Amino acid sequence: MPTKSRPTTALVFGQQAETLQPHLLPPPLQDTESLSSDDFVLSASSSSSAPTGTATAAGGDSHSKVPSARSGLKTISDSLNQDDQSSESSDDADGRLTDTESEQVRARTRTGTPVIAGRTNNHHHGTTEHGTTTSSALQSLREIEEHDHEGRQTQLQGLESRFRTTTLVAQDQDLTSDGGDNQLKVLRPKPSSGSVGNNSLSSRPKSHLQRTASMKSYDSDDISNNHGGYQKHYGDEDHTTSAWTEHRKHFFILSSAGKPIYARYGDESRISSYMGVIQALISFFADNDDTLRCINAGEHRFVFLLKAPLYLVCVSRSGESESQLRDQLGYLYAQIISVLTQSQMTKIFEQRNNFDLRGLIGGTEIFLDSLGKLMNTYPGFMLGAIQCLTMPRELRDKVGAVLGRAKCKPLLYALLVTPTQLITLLRPRTHSMHPADLHLIFNLLSGSTTFESSESWTPICLPKFNNKSFLHAYICYIAKKVCMLLISPDKDSFFEMSSVKQKVVEGLEAGGMLASLENYAAAGTRGGFSVGDTGIPGLRHFLYKSRVNVQFTMPELTEPYATTTARKRLLRQYQNMNERMHRKTRPLKLLFHVGEQETLLGWVTSGFELYAAFGPLVSKSAVVLMSNKLLKWIRKQEDSLLILNSPSFEKFK
């Protein structure tokens, strides 16, 4: 391998700039980040300069292919004064930039005022058919719970059945007609040690009882099928098949002993030789107290994230940057932590560094798969921000008030989401929720359809909140595409959560809100609003991130971005822009990019980030004009596009 090692200052970019902003998503790998200056990169090709066609019109230092128009759009590339934008402004465009910034500051102060929207009469106690079904099923569930409780005494703790699943079909046939909710399902962690004092492993008998019990529950519903009969896509491939090498982006997760844990494509045990090679490479550098971060070889980029006892590696020719790929590895790592907790995983590998982790994360590979997919389509990961469902603020506030009033003691967070968009979130005043944790929740919901048909109760670790322990999530769809999540630190609070849901559903129905929520959610799944709504001809699509709120919004992806390929391509374009603008060595505030198929503008200020796509033949001055117009439109719509004041429970006391 023609390799050349040299300090990475030129190749490590991007995220460091972000870590300065505490409200942004910090890459979940700071401990390794700090090593960067000592690290080396194996590099077969030199680091690439700005993509072709990119015009960075900075003083003298530019690859200007587009003649600098007199519009005076200026790219400020001084890396040190990122916030000192106004001092640089001397011409028209910059003057307007400052204008809009102050406008934005005003918008921010506006959001500070708490809004308690018109109260609705939502404590109406009409028992709907829907409600009855659930409650009758609930009662049966309670019986099962009691029965279970006895069983628990005799059952020994077994790690292979971290989830125990009970399924129940409501007996009342008359009520099963209203679809979906007749099935109740409880995912519950096994009781922690204690009921039976025998904890030692070697002496732990594998009782026949336990075996059959868990076998049975595994076969009894679809979640458990995920555990056992998980059919991996591309599972038949391995390194000998050409299809395997054709994939553009591979993810590998292995233990620091070199044992395979997960491969995005192919059977991880059949490609375990590659895992060995990866471990040998890492070990070679580790022997000199060095850390392998990235290898660039031709069009392939190998990115390493070392989170002992796990190693995560991405091999990609997708064109994404090193830091973007490392962020994605960080999300995969977080997904594994959300299943195991950091403390549990560390403890396991301290006990046995030859541990085969696949047994423990078994059944959750689908969520690693879906995360891989989601990161290719959903810009929230790149932006470190979450998307909110577009809906009128009054409705959002009303819905939030219903949630707020349903608060019970063990309830920590209450969320309403369409699988990947936030409707509203209620939280304690002292605890906000990190976008990275929300992304895990979005992935959990979009990764499996199993939650759509039942009430579920599952342990989940939200690493940014607390990576040492589990929270417990009550998950239930209260309408089509409208999912309620109630998160509690108490593992025995399923029934309390279930009754909170009941209260909320009644409240929403009474106020007639459930139907409109469902409509907005349906519209939101398509995209929420269209680019035509902005009234700006020539604008094809945009991403707008409010850095203050850590949220973003974007219009529906319509022609010419209707196909999956086109969407992916557009996201890659945004990623390139994002990478270039946040590059550590020379971050940019403005970037005008003329591509083959579209013209793009990137614009980063301390308050927002805007990436907008226009037709390929639009002039620079027109782009500036339209972008300012777009910003004005966003400001006007901001309170329905974003959640400007997330309510806390304390407000409703």
Partner 1 sequence: MASRKKVLLKVIILGESGVGKTSLMNQYVNKKFSNQYKATIGADFLTKEVLVDDRLVTMQIWDTAGQERFQSLGVAFYRGADCCVLVYDVNNAKSFETLESWRDEFLIQASPRGPENFPFVVIGNKIDMEESKRMMWDQTMTDLRARSDLDIYIYDGVIEISQKRAMAWCQSKGNIPYFETSAKEAINVEQAFQTIAKNALQQEVEVEIDFPDPIKIDSDTSKDFGCAC
* Closest CB 195 distance from partner 1, rounded Å: 12
Distance (Å, whole) CA 129 – CA 138: 14
Q: Going by C-beta distance under 8 Å and a sequence separation of 6 or more, which residues neighbour residue 212?
A: none
By C-beta, is 188 or 593 nearer to partner 1?
188
* Closest CB 285 distance from partner 1, rounded Å: 8
Are the C-beta atoms of 465 and 431 separated by less than 8 Å? yes
* Closest CB 484 distance from partner 1, rounded Å: 16
By C-beta, is 310 or 557 nearer to partner 1?
310
Q: How far is CA 92 from the centre of its chain?
A: 39
* Closest CB 378 distance from partner 1, rounded Å: 17
Q: Look at the alpha carbons of 634, 635, 637, 638 in this order and tell me if their dihedral is positive or negative.
A: positive
Q: Going by C-beta distance under 8 Å and a sequence separation of 6 or more, which residues neighbour residue 451?
A: 444, 445, 475, 476, 477, 483
Distance (Å, whole) CA 535 – CA 129: 44
3-class SS of residue 365: helix
* Closest CB 62 distance from partner 1, rounded Å: 35
By C-beta, is 544 or 614 nearer to partner 1?
544
Per DSSP, which regions of 434-538 are E strands?
Answer: 454-460, 471-479, 482-488
By C-beta, is 70 or 468 nearer to partner 1?
468
Strand partners, 167: 185
Distance (Å, whole) CA 487 – CA 491: 10
Q: Going by C-beta distance under 8 Å and a sequence separation of 6 or more, which residues neighbour residue 31?
A: none
* Closest CB 264 distance from partner 1, rounded Å: 17
* Closest CB 482 distance from partner 1, rounded Å: 17
* Closest CB 620 distance from partner 1, rounded Å: 34
Q: What are phi and psi of 478, to 5 degrees?
A: -95, -15
**Residue in the block written with tokens 């060995």:** 276
Please tell me whether the peptide bond between 26 and the residue prior to it is cis, using omega within 30 degrees of 0: no
Q: How far is CA 639 from the centre of its chain?
A: 22
By C-beta, is 67 or 112 nearer to partner 1?
112
* Closest CB 147 distance from partner 1, rounded Å: 21
* Closest CB 464 distance from partner 1, rounded Å: 7
Distance (Å, whole) CA 456 – CA 301: 40
Alpha-carbon distances of 500 from 126, 143, 409, 484, 497, rounded to whole Å: 16, 20, 11, 10, 5
By C-beta, is 80 or 201 nearer to partner 1?
201
By C-beta, is 104 or 279 nearer to partner 1?
279
Token pair listed for 499 = 């009754």
Q: Look at the alpha carbons of 455, 461, 464, 469 in this order and tell me if their dihedral is positive or negative.
A: positive
Q: Going by C-beta distance under 8 Å and a sequence separation of 6 or more, which residues neighbour residue 520?
A: 389, 390, 391, 395, 423
By C-beta, is 253 or 626 nearer to partner 1?
253
By C-beta, is 126 or 194 nearer to partner 1?
194
By C-beta, is 188 or 580 nearer to partner 1?
188
435 HSE (CA, 13 A, CB side)? 26
Are the C-beta atoms of 463 and 437 separated by less than 8 Å? yes
Are the C-beta atoms of 453 and 469 separated by less than 8 Å? no
* Closest CB 276 distance from partner 1, rounded Å: 4
SS3 assignment for 386-417? EEECCCCHHHHHHHHHHHHHCCCCCCCEEEEE
* Closest CB 415 distance from partner 1, rounded Å: 9
By C-beta, is 471 or 482 nearer to partner 1?
471
By C-beta, is 472 or 540 nearer to partner 1?
472
By C-beta, is 321 or 646 nearer to partner 1?
646
Query: Within 315-392, where are the H helices?
Result: 322-340, 342-351, 358-361, 365-377, 380-383
DSSP state, 269?
T
Distance (Å, whole) CA 553 – CA 489: 31
Are the C-beta atoms of 474 and 486 separated by less than 8 Å? yes
Closest residue by Cα to residue 593 from 77, 51, 108, 43: 51
Token pair listed for 529 = 């609003």
* Closest CB 140 distance from partner 1, rounded Å: 27
* Closest CB 438 distance from partner 1, rounded Å: 7
* Closest CB 453 distance from partner 1, rounded Å: 24
Distance (Å, whole) CA 3 – CA 54: 29
Token pair listed for 334 = 């977080």
By C-beta, is 260 or 602 nearer to partner 1?
260
Are the C-beta atoms of 124 and 510 separated by less than 8 Å? yes
* Closest CB 39 distance from partner 1, rounded Å: 16
The total of other beta-carbon atoms located within 10 Å of residue 22's CB is 7
Token pair listed for 484 = 């309620």
* Closest CB 432 distance from partner 1, rounded Å: 5
By C-beta, is 163 or 614 nearer to partner 1?
163
Q: Going by C-beta distance under 8 Å and a sequence separation of 6 or more, which residues neighbour residue 427?
A: 412, 413, 433, 646, 648, 649
By C-beta, is 452 or 490 nearer to partner 1?
490
By C-beta, is 66 or 348 nearer to partner 1?
348
